[in-house]
Every structure is written in structure tokens, then in C-alpha cells.
Structure 1
Amino acid sequence: MKPIRNSAKAIIIQQGKLLLTKNKDNDGFFYLFPGGGQEHGEVLKETLKRECIEELGVQVEVQDLVYVREYIGKNHEFAAWDHDVHQVEFYFVCSIAKDAPAQMDGTHPDQDQIGVEWVDIRQLDHIRLYPKALGHHLVNNEMNVRYLGDVN
């Protein structure tokens, strides 16, 4: 059994659009919030800054924690290969640093990542976004602190 993993994720919204990583698998495109796993001795805000450089290629300013989500793989659609995964994700509101380049290019993108994309928040229910439940909250402009539970 794998240990529980902490992950820090960024919610970056500008002009009604959400910045996501664009990924591709056998079923097509899917989108994820930028961020990733916490390393030993690293505070979550530092994790998020490092991960955004790796996935987006930009510095971010980390602000408030707004959502906490658990993902217990055996309970969801990817149980066939994620059955032993238990991850706790911390979602922070972030902004891109003022001196960020216009073209984003991560220094170490994830395996399935093919780029980054600004997605209109009104379209979140129409794309393959993980976690879907968080997309529903953002579409409804619900940015208050919330424990989402074990959702996908």
C-alpha cells in the first residue's frame, strides 16, 4: 500500500479564464489544475511555487487556501490502476507574477502534459476536468473555504 500523498494545486483565474495543464491520454484531452506532490520538509506554498515552474514555466504568488480534496483511487473511475492511491490536495488561489513571460513552457511537465491552456470558466462543465466537482464550484463562483471530501 502506498503512503498518503499531499499535493498543492493552483487556482489561477484571469478575465474569466482558468489556467490549466492540458494533457492527453488514450481517451483524448483532459485538464488538470497545476501543482503536484509535496516533498519532505517543504511547506505547501513552496511546493506550489516549484510545481508551477515545472508545469507552467512561471512564478506564482500563492494566496489563500480555498479547497481541500481527498482522492481515494479505489472509489473512482480509475480504480483499475489507482486503487492504492490516497492523495490529499490543497487548492490555493494564485496569481502569476508580474514579470512572467507571455508564452508559458514548463521546465519539467508531467508525463501526459502537452501544454497549458486558459479555459473559459463557463466551459468547465464541457471539458474533461479533474476533479470535476471543483469545476462545478468554480462555474458557480463558489470560492469559499470548503472540504470537498473524496470526489473526482
Structure 2
Amino acid sequence: MHPLRVSVRAVCYKDNAILLAEHRDDRGLWYILPGGGIQHNETMAQAFDRELLEETGGKAVMGDVLFVREVIADLLDTTYLPEHLHQIELFVEAKHFEQVTQPMAPDKDQIGMVWMPLHHLPNLLFFPKTMVPSLQNKVFDRIYQGHIL
């Protein structure tokens, strides 16, 4: 049996830019919002704080859930996700971001963090790609986005 994984991701804006985790692998550069899995007996707020500090070296105030996405690796034509991964991702507003240290535990293939101008999002290898218009316009009119890339 493969357990369902739940993760939390920070949506952090500054002016007309968004904070992204920058990764490099055989596809080249690709980007995601910082965050990761909620551990056993860890609250969503604790995971938000821990993941943000680990991946960005920063702290922020956790705001509202903006949207939820579901990822089922077995339904995708990709070799980049763990086999049998089924994950629910909670994308949460990150308010008042402050850099306090260097990233403490970046993810595999993560090479840094970047404040990406919003107008560059459509041209990036960014996940979830289907959320680019909502992220650019800062409009989240549907909470549950379903199974998307």
C-alpha cells in the first residue's frame, strides 16, 4: 500500500515577483513554489514554517489556503515523480516574508531560490503549469484544482 502524502507550499509575493525554488536536472532549470511534506504529528502551520526555513532560509506569516492540487503519478506520462506517488498539495499565502538565514536543507536538485517576475512565469518550466494565470493575476477563484501538472 502506498500512503497518501500531504504537503504545504508557500505562495509568497513581493512587488510583481513570486518566490520560487529553482532546480536543475537533465531537463535544465525548473521551478516550484517552496514547500514539502507534512510529517507525522506535525501541524500544517509547523510544516509551513519548517519547509520555508529549510528551502529558503526565510520566515513568513501563514495566511489562507489559496488552492489545493492533487498529483497522482501513475496517471501521468513522466518519469520525474516517485512511482505510485499520490499527493495532496495545499498552496498557502505567505505574508511578510523575511530572509533570516541561508537555506538549511534544500531539496534534491534545488540550486537556490529566486524572486521571479510574474510576467516570466509562462516561459518557465514551472509546476503546476496550469496555475500560472491564477498566480500571475493573484486570483484564486477555485480552491480545489483537481489532478493537474
TM-score (norm 1): 0.90
Question: 2: distance between equivalents of 1:132 and 1:97?
Answer: 24
Which structure 2 residues correspond to residues 1-152 of structure 1 after superposition, within 5 A? Answer: 1-79=1-79, 82-98=82-98, 100-101=99-100, 105-152=102-149
Contact 1:22 1:29 in 2 (8 A): yes
Question: 2: distance between equivalents of 1:81 and 1:143?
Answer: 26
Give the length in aligned residue pairs. 149
Question: 1: distance between equivalents of 2:115 and 2:30?
Answer: 13
Contact 1:71 1:151 in 2 (8 A): yes
SS across alignment from 1:59: strand
Residues 1-30 of structure 1: CA deviation (Å, up to 9, x unaligned): 421100000000010100000000101000
Shift of the 72–57 alpha-carbon distance from structure 1 to 2, 3 Å rule, reads: same
Question: 1: distance between equivalents of 2:109 and 2:15?
Answer: 27
Cα RMSD (Å): 1.7
Question: 2: distance between equivalents of 1:97 and 1:18?
Answer: 11
Gaps of 5+ in 1: none
Deviation, structure 1 residue 115: 0.3
Residues 83-120 of structure 1: CA deviation (Å, up to 9, x unaligned): 4000000010002445x34xx62100001100000111
Gaps of 5+ in 2: none
The runs of 4+ residues in structure 1 deviating greater than 3 Å are 79-83
Contact 1:105 1:115 in 2 (8 A): no
Q: Percent identity?
A: 29
